[in-house]
Amino acid sequence: MSSLLELNVSALTLDDLQLLHAGEHAISLPERAYDAIAASYAVVAKAAAGNEPVYGVNTGFGKLASKRISREDLATLQLNLIRSHSVGVGEPMAPAVVRLILAIKAASLARGHSGVRQIVVDTLIAAYNAGLVPYIPSQGSVGASGDLAPLSHMTLALLGEGEVLKDGVRRPASEALKNAGITPLVLEAKEGLALINGTQVSTALALHALLTFEPVLESALVVGAMTVDATRGSDGPFDPRIHEVRGQPGQIDVAKYYRTLLSGSVIRKSHEENDDRVQDPYCLRCQPQVIGACLDQLRHAALVLVREANAVTDNPLVFAETGELVSGGNFHAEPVALAADAMAVAIAEVGAIAERRIAMLIDTAVSRLPAFLTPDAGLNSGFMIAHVTAASLASENKSLAHPASVDSLPTSANQEDHVSMATFAARRLQPMIENTAHILGIELLAAAQGIDFLRPLTSSAALESAHGLLRESCPFVGEDRYLAPDIKRAADLVKHGALSRVFRALPDASKLPPLWIPV
């Protein structure tokens, strides 16, 4: 980690979160945070020394909140909480997700409403800076009362009792902490509860999806524009006047992206005056309306997730100015669940309209290209079954897009009787992104094939650049060959930023509206 990023407590931006996700900077706390941490800890220390029952300080948890705990057992209470709640199952969370969890948990506790000592926040930051990745199983949270199981696994590692991932291998956390020069954390009153109560896991998973979908969405714009040219579609539907009279901001921006991507296309010029088709199919003509609506949903989700990344979401909360501990329900992750569900629908729709464009490309009656995009249809099947793969992935995404937030199973003997399912809502986005990237990879291959049939005519400079990137590793399909490796290589261009860089290098790119409105 080459440079230092100060956690701007309560004011982290999406750009900050992207840097935390990448893990290329060490992090630190601003000096002003330490006074707030100390003031809130003093309130908890006073409650722990007193005789009044205070939830999470000297009582049991959940349905056991009426059980009083003796003063000499308060530290054991917190340790037992972490041990008993470390019950996750499934594959471990990705290192980028875990980095976000550590960082935004530290930022939340540093706001001074959680009653923990400075050493708790410092240990989270030290683990992040040392590149430690606590082993956190991905399943086991219902998104209220906080992400209890996954955050318990994170905390267990900080105590030296859990595990970390090192080079993909599970290792004892005690060994990793020692090698990093970090003293295992010893919990005091309320600190275990403060660490595991909260929405940081579901928020980090949803942010991970937002950030990993960004290059896929930019690629979708490039590939969708390529298909317009490959099928000799019209750029008339991208006329700014159409979109201004509707007034939907995402639609207006997406139409501008398409106009810029198609600007200078010789293919378009060649059929501008003698095209007998009155209107293109919806999958071409309505791209601003469909992708623009998806963009509006994703932009709203980004706003919600940035707010949540800056939030205090444990319970009870400390208000040092009055010396009160107040019980509430900020750990309920409904905002994250609804945002993740909206993201799921948007991701599915980006893939769904791409699948329709592939279907149009291989249909000679609509595309006016050779059937199934092969020079010798019959002897060769061309892209016939590649489209079937795209259809299967689009259909799979439809099932995955079912809202998670509408489901709720009561837990903790009905004490926690309505839960958000936010953690699954966010976690299921990754396979959906993977599916959509593969659909777009297939469309990229098909659109490039279509453009090759129109040679010597050329597309715009931007789209020729995208075509050239593909042809570096995936040649024209003149006759049937093993196509799965080509699909993988094309999907990698979609996922890993190559096509995204084409989008970001558009002429006057700085004058184009940003994909995510700054938040």
Q: How far apart are CA 356 and CA 502, in angstroms?
A: 23
SS3 (DSSP) at 326? strand
Q: How far apart are CA 121 and CA 379, in angstroms?
A: 66
- DSSP assignment, residue 478? S
Q: How far apart are CA 318 and CA 325, in angstroms?
A: 5
Q: Is 131 left (phi over 0), alpha (psi -120 to 50) or beta?
A: left
Residue 412's identity, in one-letter code, is S
Phi and psi dihedrals of 185, rounded to 5? -75, 140
Percentage helix, strand, coil for the chain under 3-state DSSP, each rounded to 5: 60, 5, 35
Instruction: Report whether 88 contacts 136 (CB < 8 A).
Output: yes
Asked about 55 being catalytic, the answer comes back as: yes
Cis peptide before 316 (omega within 30 of 0): yes
Measured from the Cβ of residue 392, the count of other Cβ atoms closer than 10 Å reads 14
Q: What is the largest CA-CA distance in the chain?
A: 88
Phi and psi dihedrals of 397, rounded to 5? -65, -35
- Helix (H) or strand (E) holding 25, with range, is strand 25-28
In this structure, is the dihedral angle defined by the CA atoms of residues 138, 140, 144 and 146, taken in order, positive or negative? negative
Q: How far apart are CA 341 and CA 346, in angstroms?
A: 9
Q: How far apart are CA 390 and CA 256, in angstroms?
A: 27
- Helix (H) or strand (E) holding 39, with range, is helix 32-49
Helices (H), ranges, 231-333: 240-244, 249-262, 266-270, 282-285, 287-309
Q: How far apart are CA 474 and CA 459, in angstroms?
A: 18
Which residue among the candidates 55, 128, 257, 258 is catalytic per the annotation? Answer: 55
**All residues at 6 or more sequence positions from 246 whose CB lies less than 8 Å from its CB, including other chains:** none
Measured from the Cβ of residue 122, the count of other Cβ atoms closer than 10 Å reads 18
Q: Which residues participate in catalysis according to the annotation? A: 55
